[in-house]
Amino acid sequence: MSYLVFSVFVCLLCAHLPTTKSEHSVPYKVGYIDQYVDHFNFARFGNQTFKERYLIQDKWWDKKNNGPIFFYTGNEGPIEAFWKASGLMFDLAPRFGALILFGEHRYYGKSLPFGPSKSFQRPYIGLLTMRQALADFAYLINSIKKQHGAEKSPVIAFGGSYGGMLAAYFRMKHPSVCDGSIAASAPIYLLNPKFDHSFFFTDVTKDFSESVSGCVPRIKRAFTKMDQLMTEGKKGLAMLTKYFQLCQPLTGKAAYTHLLGWIRNAFTNTAMFDYPYATNFLPVGNPVKFSCDHVLSAADDISGLAAASGIYYNATFGPLKCFDISKEYVSCADPTGCGIGPNAWAWDYQACTDILLPPGSNNVTDMFPILPFNDTLRNEYCMKTWGTKPNPDWAYWGQDLRTTSNIVFSNGDLDPWHRGGVLKDVSKSVRAFMVIGGAHHLDLRGHNSKDPVSVIKVRGQEAKMIEEWVMKAKKSRQSIST
């Protein structure tokens, strides 16, 4: 899941827009805080702590006037990666006089409660939960406030994707700490076991179908021809190895299935990050169209599929002479992708506990091969891997949004996650904004000259909501102090 919409609102941002770079270079200071290993059971670990990492920048902070704290709720990866992809916070900080703070999620990056090995072993991995992470964030913010004399500063949370879910839940669970949240591309309804989770690969397919005519049929034909080659045994496997320029030859059904997952993962990420400009992880703007152009211009169907898949991995891992699919893609409890390395282990565990994720592909409602991963298969995998399984009985929380306030849920209609999110206003203070022509949390990224008008409008609406929340919080704190 692993990662990040002209009206009256345009002028709210225009005074502080940076250059057209979308991956900003704002420096940060790295800090560590002694964070409790377990916030809810002191009998087991007592007061044992670990070092939680955070990033901070105070160059715009108006401390004298209790400027707000803009807090990023770190998600499934090293925190510096989200710093680079969350330019909206830096675009807005000068206007609001904000202190910027990014908190790293426990069990990701360098915030490992029991070290790089033990943290991912049972039973220690059991302390990786959303509730623990939210408690970490609350403790971090309160500690930073004390250190910097910022007790009266309002706190606005920002997050994208899983981080967007956390930003929303942070406001719900810790309203005394968080005064409002921008929850970008946050599919919070996935935690409802009764919600239809089957939309994801259908919407990935829709992105490619609507981008270039004829793209999806050719992709489907390529998968069919790959299956036909598989029936030829070693000869077919050798041909597939050559088509996809694999470092290690395919040796059988398991390796072939992993290749199919590797291909699907490339198309999934291309759809999620279909931004109108190049990024540090995709080399071109409008990568869905770029991939389809390769699919359609290739000499044959499988060559086109291979070329389109290689675009993503060449950009992610740098120019490759061959593709090592065992290192570039990890099969896990999340069919949409877990990433690689220790971060993948952590997300795999969360996909087996407190996150309910989409099923696999079916080749009927989507363009991908039949790679099933239903609740039964997921439970079997999770029990075998972690000794647990997703528990919707306690994961289903925070769904009645009428009980909360001060949250913006933003989504892009190109984002294959958007149907799992909040698409309609719930109240005057729980709003839903749609970025037409926007991919995964495009609004959270920094200003770019190629941004669609819709994302400029949504960012302006978000700025207006933040202004209301900050003014209300300051007024409330002032009345209490007097």
The DSSP 8-state label assigned to residue 323 in this structure reads B
Residue 391: inside a domain: no
Is the pLDDT confidence value at 14 over 50?
no
Predicted pLDDT of residue 399 = 73
Q: Are residues 225 and 369 in the same domain?
A: yes
pLDDT digits (tens, 9 = 90+) for 269-278: 999 999 999 9
Return the higher-pLDDT residue of 95 and 18: 95
Which whole number is the average pLDDT over 109-122? 96
Rounded mean pLDDT of 48-71?
Answer: 97
Of 105, 197, 418, 440, catalytic: 440
Confidence of residue 68 (pLDDT cuts 50, 70, 90): very high
Residue 300 lies in a domain: yes
446 and 373 part of one domain: no
Q: Is position 78 within any domain?
A: yes
In a domain, 283, yes or no: yes
| 119 within a domain of the structure (yes/no) | yes
Residues 379 and 450 in one domain: no
Q: What is the mean pLDDT of residues 444-458?
A: 97
Q: Identify the pLDDT of residue 480.
A: 67
Q: What is the CATH number of the domain that holds 366?
A: 1.20.120.980
pLDDT at 19: 32
Average pLDDT over residues 452-467: 98
pLDDT at 8: 27
Tell me, yes or no, if 209 is annotated catalytic. no
DSSP-assigned states of every residue in 103-126: EPPTTSTT--TT-TTGGGSTTGGG
Question: Mean pLDDT of all residues in the chain?
Answer: 92
- Residues 477 and 185: their CA atoms lie apart, in Å, by 31
Residues 242, 339, single domain; the answer is yes
Of 332, 356, 386, the residue at which a domain comes to its end is 386
CB of 119 within 8 A of CB of 107? yes
Q: What is the mean pLDDT of residues 189-196?
A: 90
Copy the structure tokens of residue 410: 């933003």
136 is a catalytic site residue: no
pLDDT for residue 1: 62
pLDDT per residue as tens digits for the range 197-254:
999 999 999 999 999 999 999 999 999 999 999 999 999 999 999 999 999 999 999 9
Stretch 71-77: mean pLDDT: 97
Give the active site residue among 111, 119, 153, 161: 161
Convert the pLDDT of each residue in 263-306 to its tens digit. 999 999 999 999 999 998 888 999 999 999 999 999 999 999 99
Shared-domain flag, residues 25 and 153? yes
| Residues 289, 354 share a domain | yes
For the chain, how many structural domains are there in total?
Answer: 2
- Identify whether residues 168 and 62 lie together within a single domain: yes
Give the structural domain span for 373.
Answer: 200-386
- Mean per-residue pLDDT, 132-159: 97
Mean pLDDT of all residues in 59-77: 97
8 Å CB contact between 411 and 432: yes
pLDDT at 318 (0 to 100)? 73
The confidence band for 18, taking pLDDT boundaries of 50, 70 and 90, is very low
Same domain, 42 and 135: yes
Model confidence at 181: pLDDT above 80: yes
Catalytic one of 179, 274, 415, 443: 415
CATH of the domain at 414: 3.40.50.1820
Q: Would you call 393 a catalytic residue per the annotation?
A: no
Q: Is 146 domain-assigned?
A: yes
E strand segments, 250-299: none
Q: What integer is the mean pLDDT of 50-55?
A: 98
Tell me, yes or no, whether 1 lies in a domain. Answer: no
* Mean pLDDT, residues 179-185 taken together: 98
Mean pLDDT, to the nearest integer, of 417-436?
A: 97
What's the sign of the alpha-carbon dihedral 429, 435, 436, 441?
A: negative
| 124 & 223 share domain | no
Residue 99 neighbours by CB under 8 Å, 6+ apart:
56, 57, 58, 60, 61, 63, 67, 68, 69, 70, 148, 150, 153
pLDDT value at residue 11: 27
Higher-scoring residue by pLDDT: 393, 181: 181
Say yes or no to pLDDT of 428 above 80: yes
Instruction: Indicate whether 380 and 456 sit together in one domain.
Output: no
476 and 352 assigned to the same domain:
no
Domain boundary among 347, 366, 386: 386
Same domain for 276 and 167: no
The residue out of 332, 364, 386 marking a domain boundary is 386
In a domain? residue 2 = no
- Report residue 366 CA to chain centroid gap: 22
